[in-house]
């Protein structure tokens, strides 16, 4: 699979090399690409989640570049931190706390579908908005991973006041942050990792951002095409994600993690290296209660009995495989679902030929999966799968995992 999807990272390396030779990549002189005067919440001096939500929403009102200014309230509800309270029928002793941590370039919206599914089973669910997110992509320029780490630690402290057992669930970058938090906090009972960025695809190429950030603020600049996530990539964002993954892997090398983990990932993920993440799971995440669901077949044999392969080829739905972005979204999601407003064919990341991507955008009968994951012409052009066709089964498995601990 790497031989096909690696072209995305080759494109990034090409951008870095050419920029170093002929000049740095620059962004348009528009507010969306300019750093805002956003005033960060003081995570180290508070554990009040209501105050945090109020502060962040106020900052978003002032500094967010809205996708559609006539729908500001709706956009705030999508991207802001959230809290879902357990049902009134749940006794205090039943309530468990779950902190949801979104991915790089995402907002809290990415995990709202999962949050609602957990809310109905006596879970107090809180979703944070990582610093630098939700306002404009330029606010990730100069970001430090410690800011993300502090925001996660704050969310965990806030839950400890109101729930008995604490769990963390993270998607992509959020998965790495979730595991990092659990490595530092023995009170966390278990971890759910959804496509965690413990090892990004072609990490050597990602590591080049460590020097390139001193020459350019941007690796990729794209138009503002979707209200709930960025599509432009500041160099610092890649660099800090890479450094965080190395930080977590170093900790695991010193001491394996023995508390329960539920790992979910796609074998054809464009963003993370699924094979390497599975290796980390088998070698460094040691609990016998651990579980892994892999959507699709991997290139290496899966001898670990804790790993289960989930069929990802669903021809009756014209689904070839699973993408990175599909994992956390329900099929009825208004943005990413079957009838959602967002359609993705790989044009903005330059992974597929322009004509092929344009044809995909026009057609309504595309096969769906991870762009760049096949060269078989009968499936082309591929529309990126943006929802999880087995979302209900996934959330049920997450609920069971949490309730069994």
Phi, psi for residue 286 in degrees, rounded to 5: -105, -5
Q: Could you tell me the CA-to-CA distances from 344 to 296, 326, 352 in Å, in that order?
A: 21, 11, 12
Instruction: Specify the 3-state DSSP secondary structure of 13.
Output: helix
The residues, any chain, with a CB within 8 Å of residue 240's CB and separated by 6 or more, are 143, 144, 145, 148
The pLDDT score that the predictor gives to residue 301 is: 61
Q: What are phi and psi of 168, to 5 degrees?
A: -125, 140
Task: Provide the CATH topology of domain 2-311+390-404.
Answer: Rossmann fold (3.40.50)
What is the pLDDT at residue 144?
97
Interval 56-99: pLDDT, tens: 999 999 999 999 999 999 999 999 999 999 988 888 888 899 99
pLDDT digits (tens, 9 = 90+) for 324-344: 999 999 999 999 999 999 999
**What integer pLDDT is reported at residue 24 of this predicted model?**
59
The residue that leads in pLDDT, 300 or 382, is 382
Percent of the chain at pLDDT > 90 equals: 76
Q: Work out the average pLDDT over 117-136.
A: 94
pLDDT in tens, 5-50: 434 444 554 454 444 443 456 788 899 999 998 788 889 888 899 9
Find all residues with CB under 8 Å of 15, minimum gap 6, and list them.
25, 219, 220
Longest dimension (CA), the chain: 64
* CA atoms within a 13 Å half-sphere pointing along the CA-CB vector of 258: 3
> Average pLDDT, stretch 280-295?
96
| pTM summary value | 0.94
Place of tokens 């009756």: 316
- Min mean pLDDT across 138-152, 176-190, 202-216 is at 202-216
């Amino acid at each position: 699979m790497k031989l096909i999807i690696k072209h995305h990272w080759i494109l990034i390396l090409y951008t870095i090399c050419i920029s170093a030779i002929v000049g740095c990549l620059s962004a348009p002189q528009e507010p969306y690409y300019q750093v805002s005067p956003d005033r960060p919440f003081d995570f180290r001096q508070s554990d009040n989640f209501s105050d945090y939500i109020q502060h962040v929403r106020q900052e978003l009102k002032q500094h967010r570049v809205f996708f559609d200014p006539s729908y500001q309230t709706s956009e705030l509800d999508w991207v802001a931190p959230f809290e879902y309270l357990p049902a009134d029928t749940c006794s205090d002793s039943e309530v468990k706390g779950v902190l949801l941590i979104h991915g790089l370039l995402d907002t809290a919206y990415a995990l709202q579908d999962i949050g609602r599914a957990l809310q109905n089973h006596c879970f107090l669910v809180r979703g944070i908005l990582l610093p630098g997110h939700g306002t404009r992509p330029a606010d990730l320029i100069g970001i430090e991973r410690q800011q993300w780490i502090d925001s996660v630690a704050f969310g965990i402290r806030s839950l400890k006041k109101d729930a008995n057992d604490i769990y963390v669930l993270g998607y992509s970058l959020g998965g790495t942050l979730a595991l990092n938090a659990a490595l530092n906090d023995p009170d966390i009972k278990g971890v759910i990792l959804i496509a965690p960025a413990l090892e990004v695809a072609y990490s050597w190429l990602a590591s080049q951002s460590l020097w390139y950030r001193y020459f350019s603020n941007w690796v990729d600049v794209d138009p503002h095409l979707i209200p709930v996530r960025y599509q432009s990539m500041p160099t610092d964002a890649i660099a800090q994600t890479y450094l965080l993954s190395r930080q977590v892997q170093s900790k695991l090398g010193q001491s394996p993690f023995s508390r329960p983990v539920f790992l979910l990932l796609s074998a054809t993920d464009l963003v993370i290296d699924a094979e390497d993440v599975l290796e980390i799971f088998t070698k460094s995440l040691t609990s016998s209660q651990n579980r892994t669901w892999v959507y699709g077949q991997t290139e290496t044999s899966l001898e670990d009995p804790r790993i289960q392969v989930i069929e990802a080829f669903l021809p009756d739905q014209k689904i070839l495989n699973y993408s990175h972005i599909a994992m956390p979204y329900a099929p009825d999601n208004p943005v990413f679902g079957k009838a959602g407003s967002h359609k993705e064919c790989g044009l903005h990341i330059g992974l597929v030929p322009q004509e092929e991507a344009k044809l995909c955008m026009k057609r309504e009968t595309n096969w769906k999966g991870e762009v760049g994951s096949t060269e078989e012409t009968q499936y082309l052009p591929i529309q990126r799968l943006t929802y999880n066709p087995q979302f209900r089964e996934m959330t049920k498995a997450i609920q069971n995992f949490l309730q069994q601990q």
